[in-house]
Each structure stands twice: as structure tokens, then as C-alpha cells.
Amino acid sequence: QRVLIVDIDSQANATSSLGIDIHNVRAGTYDALLDMAPAMENVLHNPRLKMDLLPSSPALAGAEIELVNEIGRETRLKKALVPLHDQYDYIIIDNPPSLGLLTLNGLVAAKHGVIIPVQCEYLALEGLGQLTKTLIRVRSAISPNLSIRGVILTMFDPRTNLSSDVVNEVRRFFPNKVFNALIPRSVRLAEAPSYGVPISIYDPNSNGAQAYQELAIELLAIDKVPAQ
């Protein structure tokens, strides 16, 4: 599958996790959002990882303020990605953790729905209600087709009752939306970003890599795409 990662988080974790020095990024999502630069011109290609990246950089930190007075500020990313739709099977947008203007751009650009990662911890549950309200507001005001594609449970620890309780609560909160694959709490998963490669390359035989492979197979099955 042809995959593009779009990093719109000013912390640029997705960018650095794929081996890119964020301080050397010359152009990326900032330029697509603020200057409406053609996104394809700034896409970084990585044949080894078999995925492409529209990178973020520290410059994106001031984008929220710069976008405030721009016309169509909520739809900047959506418009920038339209020319790329036919180039990729999947365009995955990595949103910031906060619910600001950048996240709003990500939600509006989510043509085929939102995937919500939820850590198997108590505090993660508290943000679900607010997130759901935000999605409802965005859907009613700007993007009527916005939907929840699925929920990923991460940092799962089978040794604790808390993890199991969170799994049950999230499945109750999002019936028929939670992926079966549980992403475990794993040292190898935590180490992979520091080497600039996905867990599937860093340690393909680890529990974390196998869990993400199961998740990918689930997603492909939903889309009726044969797993390879």
C-alpha cells in the first residue's frame, strides 16, 4: 500500500521517529498550511520504509497564531492534501495532542475518519468525553462527514487490573469501534523512535511489532484490502 504520513504536530514526533532531524526540515506542513505551497513538492520519500512523509518542524509552533486571521483557516490542510489523494492508498495525519487550530485542520482533512489512540490508563478516559464533544461540534459546523474510524488501545499491560478495566470502559464508550489488537506497554516500542525507524524494522519479532501488524491486518480487512 502507498502510505503518506502527514505530521501537523509542532513537536514533530512522527517526523523524528522516522529518522528526520526536525531542525533540518526546509519545508513541510508549515508551508502547506501557511503558504499553501504544493504539498507534493515537500514530501520526503523513503523507499526503505516504504512510506512517504510530509514533515513537521519547530516552525509549526507559531502556526496557530498565524492562521487565526487567515481566510478558510480550518480547511487549509484539507485543500493542500486534495492533489495527493490519487497518489496514496492511505494518508495518515498525526495530530497534536491539544484541541487547537492545527488539530481542527487535521479533523477537517480526515476524509475517511478519525482513529483515536487511547492509553490504558485512568487519566486517558477523562479526555474521551471532551474529544467526543469536539468531534460532534466539528461535524455539525464544518465537516458533516467526519466519523470515528476506530479506537486503538495502547500501553496495555495484562498484569494490571487497570488496563483491563480501561479496555472494558472504552469498548463500552465506543461500541463496535475499538480494534481487537491491543498495543502493549513495551520497552522495544519505546526504543524504536530513538533509532528513527518503525518497530516493524527495529524489532519485527517483538510483541509490539506483532500487535501493530495485527492492527494493520484489521484495518485492511475493514477496507476489504487483502493483507500481504
pLDDT digits (tens, 9 = 90+) for 18-74: 999 999 998 899 999 988 878 888 999 988 888 999 999 988 988 888 988 888 899
Tell me, what's the pLDDT at 183? 98
pLDDT digits (tens, 9 = 90+) for 113-147: 999 999 999 888 888 888 888 889 889 988 998 99
Tell me the whole-structure pTM to 2 decimals. 0.92
Task: With a cut of 70, say whether residue 227 has pLDDT above it.
Answer: no
What is the percent of the chain with per-residue pLDDT over 70, rounded to a whole number? 99
Tell me, what's the pLDDT at 180? 96
Tell me, what's the pLDDT at 39? 85
Residue 191 to residue 199: CA distance in whole angstroms? 9
Task: With a cut of 90, say whether residue 216 has pLDDT above it.
Answer: yes
Residues 6+ apart with CB under 8 A from 54: 4, 5, 6, 7, 28, 29, 32, 39, 42, 43, 44
Tell me, what's the pLDDT at 120? 94
The grid cell for 107 is 479533523
Please, where are the H alpha helices in the chain? 13-17, 29-34, 63-67, 76-81, 101-109, 122-141, 161-173, 187-191, 199-202, 207-222
Fold assignment, 1-111: Rossmann fold (3.40.50)
* pLDDT band of 1, cuts 50, 70, 90: confident
pLDDT digits (tens, 9 = 90+) for 65-102: 898 888 889 999 999 999 999 999 999 999 998 888 99
